[in-house]
Amino acid sequence: MERRSLADVDSTEAAEGVHLALMAGSDSMNVQHFEIEPGATVEEHSHPHEQTGFIYEGELTFRTDGDELVCGPGDSYALPGDQPHAAKNRGEVTVRGVDIFSPPRENPTWQSK
């Protein structure tokens, strides 16, 4: 069994205002905590991983297939692998939540250098 505390994990600024922290994982999935500052955007991208998530603070607007969907505190979502998607924090508070990826994902290739 693996245990990781958010307090013990360094976050990566994957894009301006988008902070990711890899949490516990296994051979088939892992957990990633995210914080997305007001006005920050996750540009459109895709990945082979299935992605499910849960937002516990703020509102995040997702864009997939030309449609928009707003997810807020208490909302969960699921994205199939290889589906292009983007997200933006249009609110005034930082969005905080967790994503689960299967198979496990490291920091994304679109991360800032």
* pTM across the whole model: 0.91
Confidence of residue 108 (pLDDT cuts 50, 70, 90): low
* Integer CA distances (angstroms), 66 to 11, 62, 91, 94, in order: 30, 10, 20, 24
Pick the closest to residue 53 from 26, 27, 23 (CA basis).
23
pLDDT tens digits, 1-42: 989 999 999 999 999 999 999 999 999 999 999 999 999 999
pLDDT tens digits, 82-96: 999 999 999 999 999
